[in-house]
Amino acid sequence: MLFLFTVSFEATKPTTEEARNAISKMIGEVIEILKTDFGVKDDIATGYVSISPYYGWLDSGRTLVGQRAMQALLERKSIESFKSQMEMQ
């Protein structure tokens, strides 16, 4: 039996590049924690990437706030592997 652990990341920045870089940095930090603190090796993959304009509302109407980037980080584990990993903690 397998389970899938998913963490979603989201950042809104002035430009698409800044938003994409922000989520890439967050994902990199979480991957490093999973590898160093939890011994996760090759069970990690990234999921969808979505980038779109993000608007806010002011008295004068809709205003572009920035670009919103979203991406998911996926970890696939067997129940047995997860139990073994938790026992080592």
User: Which CATH fold would you assign to the domain 2-79?
Assistant: Alpha-Beta Plaits (3.30.70)
How high is the pLDDT of residue 76?
A: 77
Q: Which helix (H) or strand (E) holds 65?
A: strand 61-78
Of 7, 12, 28, 2, which is closest to residue 68 (Cα–Cα)?
12
Q: Taking the CA of residue 9 as centre, how many other CA atoms within 13 Å lie in the half-sphere pointing to its CB?
A: 23
Residue type, 12: T
CB 76 within 8 A of CB 4: yes
Q: How many CB atoms lie within 10 A of CB 57?
A: 9
Of 1, 8, 2, 5, which is closest to residue 75 (Cα–Cα)?
5
Confidence class of residue 88 from pLDDT cuts 50, 70 and 90?
low
How high is the pLDDT of residue 75?
A: 82
12-63: pLDDT as tens digits: 999 999 999 999 999 999 989 888 887 777 778 888 899 999 999 988 899 9
